[in-house]
Structure 1
Amino acid sequence: MIDPHLRHVSRLGRQPSAFRLAGTPVITVMLGSAVTVLPVIAQAPVMPPFGLLLLLSWRLLRPELWRTWIGVPLGLFDDMMSGQPIGSSMFLWTVMLIGVDAVEHRMVWRSYRQDWLIASVAIIFCIVGGAFLASVAGGGDINLYLVAPQLLCTILLFPFVVRQCAQIDRWRVMA
């Protein structure tokens, strides 16, 4: 019998909850998308799309975690938070996830630099595609040189976000 005064409880053999395993990545991506509602004033679009960064980080870190269709509900949430035309992130994120999945199936192994290259191409695709879809939907004329600082900030921020996702993932799978 265990003494009730002992406060140490062994974590060996325990499993984390199903909500913790499945919900943590979804909640982090949704929180990343919700960062756009913060009152940040800038002359140019410099704020990185944190929802996209977190989605890419989780996808490259844990490929078995999500199916490709996860881009639809998470993209819808991002569209509602960011003010993009409804369906733009849904479409772009799903196509991006299909592309990442196709590249991943062709590679035998990946390194850190390859992940960064895959993420850079995906980020460029999503940001330029989002700017194009916003201009088509009546958002005005968006020049690509205005989007360049956001592209650069987002690509350079990706390694930091992956590291943070890895820390969250360690907590997520810990019993």
Structure 2
Amino acid sequence: MVRFALGRPNALERRPKRLARAIPAMSVGIASLLPLAPVVAEVGWMPDTGLLLLLAWRLLRGDVIPAWWAAPLGLWNDLVLGHPIGLSVVIFSGSMILLDLLDRRTMWRDYWLEWLLAVALIVLAEVIRWQVDGAMGARYPLATILPASAISALSFPLAAWAASRIDHWRLGR
């Protein structure tokens, strides 16, 4: 009775938020906006936060983001960040498909294996972007993608933590 009077619901009265199904996709869409922060740099070192959070959600809970959501989220990422239309669609969709295939093949995963999978997909995405940039006429050495890849790989645990906190809040725990 006292907890109810103080405005703190007990465990039986807590429930998921109203838009609980859409919150993961909205968080990935908002994360895609983070590289637009006004930071001046000669080379692109800012990680693709939309991809990081998508991978974090997919590895945290495989059921909250269906594979087909990767295409609209990738299109949003392309439109916001100015990538060629379809590049993030292919990267996001390919990542979701690869993770679905790996889910069917592996019996268990721990945190280190998930981090290794995320790093492999992040580096693959950076190499694909480098190849597409080269095909469009922007020739630069492969070493220029190393800082962005390293920063993305090291910031994946932060994205995984953010996804877990959002999931905790979303479910009303």
- Normalised by the length of structure 2, the TM-score is 0.91
Please name the residue that 2:87 is paired with.
88
Q: How far does residue 9 in structure 1 lie from its aligned partner after superposition?
A: 5.5
Note the residue ranges of structure 2 that are not aligned, 5 or more in a row.
Answer: none
Please name the residue that 2:61 is paired with.
62
* 8 Å CA contact retained: 1:85, 1:134: no
What are the superposed Cα offsets for residues 42-99 of structure 1, whole Å, 9 maximum, x if unpaired? 1221111110100000000001112211110000000011110000000111011111
Note the residue ranges of structure 1 that are not aligned, 5 or more in a row.
Answer: none
Please name the residue that 2:33 is paired with.
34
Q: How does 1:66-145 map to 2 (within 5 A)?
A: 66-136=65-135, 138-145=136-143
Change in CA separation of 1:16 and 1:97 when aligned onto 2, cut-off 3 Å: same
Please name the residue that 1:50 is paired with.
49
Query: Aligned-pair RMSD on alpha carbons?
Result: 1.9
* 8 Å CA contact retained: 1:84, 1:134: no
**Which letter does structure 2 place at the counterpart of 1:43?**
E
Aligned residue-pair number: 171
The whole-number CA distance in structure 1 between the counterparts of 2:69 and 2:137 is 26
Please name the residue that 1:15 is paired with.
15
* 8 Å CA contact retained: 1:76, 1:89: yes
Please name the residue that 1:161 is paired with.
159
Percent of residue pairs identical: 32
* 8 Å CA contact retained: 2:24, 2:65: no
* 8 Å CA contact retained: 1:132, 1:142: no
Q: Counterpart of 2:108 in 1: which secondary structure?
A: coil
**Which letter does structure 2 place at the counterpart of 1:145?**
A
Q: How far does residue 165 in structure 1 lie from its aligned partner after superposition?
A: 1.2
